[in-house]
Amino acid sequence: MAVVIFKAIEKCNSNCIYCDVIKKHQDKVMDYELLKLIFIRMNEYLTDHPGEEITFTWHGGEVCLLGAEYFRVAYKLQEDYCPETKNRINHLVQSNLTLINQEIIDAFLSLGIKQIGSSFEPIHHIRGYGKNRDSELYNRKFIDGVKLLARNNMTWGVIYVVHRLSLKMPLEIFYYLTNLNASSHPNFNQIKMYGEDRHNLAISGEEFADFLGAIFPVWYHHRERYPNIQPFADIWRNTFENNMSMMCESSGQCTYRWVYVGPEGETSQCGRAGDYGILKYGNLKNFTFQEIMNSKLRKPLALRQKYLSENECKNCRFWGICHGGCPLDAFMIHNDFMKVSSKCDTTKRFIEKYFEPVTGFKVDFPYLN
């Protein structure tokens, strides 16, 4: 399955402290002509690959700034230009939910979108509007959005970005987020800083592991209550159920599956590559999806798996759940794809210091390549 991270807009209505979008001050919005071309390109790709599907992730910026009409047009374009392949395009949305309204929801539903990925932060003035990041107003709007989703029988989940202030209250944050949504549980991600860390929010891989480690015993003893907390659930399944489904950065399989499409049709490896401005594969105006998905510029990522498993990661018992971590993170730190990312420290510390002592099991994941 190909995963398209689609940023028709990079502008956002919020001023979250750790977000790159605000720093870029991007105002570009993809026009309808180009949007039409995206659907034409997807149709070409899916027609040529009858067994394939595309996960089309509406990402931003804040997608709701596009307005309901934009999604209605997208639906019309899909109907017109993907008549035989539309059932193999699965739309997903990432939104902060603070601007969502019934019109947008109706448009989402027409595209088959029934769940929305979001983010939330119980600590004040991290996510919010304006210079001082008005989190009170932001949270009010978020909850209004969540209620609207519930009225429409739509589901939602959050990614929680772990930063320096989170380190003081891991369990409180865990309980808050699982109380906020008991049926869809949070995914904890380490903060990614772009450029200068003006607010001293960056944390190391070890600190992130310690954050996870503070929550893990509670999760382990109550894992039926909180079945899908990430990254715990993935590590658990990989350990005991031999179910090797992992986040993109740990899967080692992102090379030929992901593509980022920006507001002017520019493409790169994934959303993070788009943010970093690396691994650019050309513009969809000039290349087909097939050409972009198979771009020779992706080759270093494919080689990285083999290289790391024979060098830095050779005989590492965590290889099967880490695969050297995100190649883009490695590149941003070492200017070299053939290095492990900082996730290596997180994985090792979390498993050795927390996972194994708490569960009593010794893990071994060397076998998956």
Q: List interacting residues with another protein (CB under 8 A).
A: 122, 139-140, 143, 146-147, 150-151, 171-172, 175-176, 178-180, 182-183, 218, 222, 224-225, 227
On the CB side of 21, CA atoms within 13 Å amount to 20
Cα Rg of the chain, angstroms: 20
Q: For the range 177-180, what are the long-range contacts, defined as Cβ-Cβ under 8 Å and sequence gap of 24 or more?
A: 177/120, 177/122, 178/225, 178/226, 178/229, 180/120
Q: Are strands 187-190 and 155-162 parallel, antiparallel or unpaired?
A: parallel
- Least spacing, CB of residue 326 vs another protein, in Å: 30
Nearer to another protein, 29 or 229 (CB): 229
- Least spacing, CB of residue 168 vs another protein, in Å: 13
- Least spacing, CB of residue 265 vs another protein, in Å: 39
- Least spacing, CB of residue 316 vs another protein, in Å: 35
Nearer to another protein, 101 or 204 (CB): 101
- Least spacing, CB of residue 152 vs another protein, in Å: 11
Nearer to another protein, 183 or 243 (CB): 183
Nearer to another protein, 84 or 106 (CB): 106
The tokens describing 131, both together, are 């210079």
Q: What angle, rounded to 10 degrees, do the helices at 205-221 and 170-180 form?
A: 60
Which residue, 42, 30, 41, 59, is CA-closest to 1? Answer: 42
Q: Are strands 115-119 and 155-162 parallel, antiparallel or unpaired?
A: parallel
Which residue, 317, 322, 319, is CA-closest to 361? Answer: 317
Looking at the chain, the number of H-run helices and the number of E-run strands are 16, 9
How far apart CA 69 and CA 104 sit, in angstroms, is 8
Q: Is-contact 135 19, C-beta < 8 A?
A: no
Nearer to another protein, 224 or 241 (CB): 224
- Least spacing, CB of residue 173 vs another protein, in Å: 8
Nearer to another protein, 218 or 330 (CB): 218
- Least spacing, CB of residue 62 vs another protein, in Å: 20
- Least spacing, CB of residue 127 vs another protein, in Å: 13
Nearer to another protein, 165 or 270 (CB): 165
Q: How many angstroms separate the first and last alpha carbons of the chain? A: 18
Nearer to another protein, 122 or 213 (CB): 122
Match 């600590």 to its residue by tokens: 123
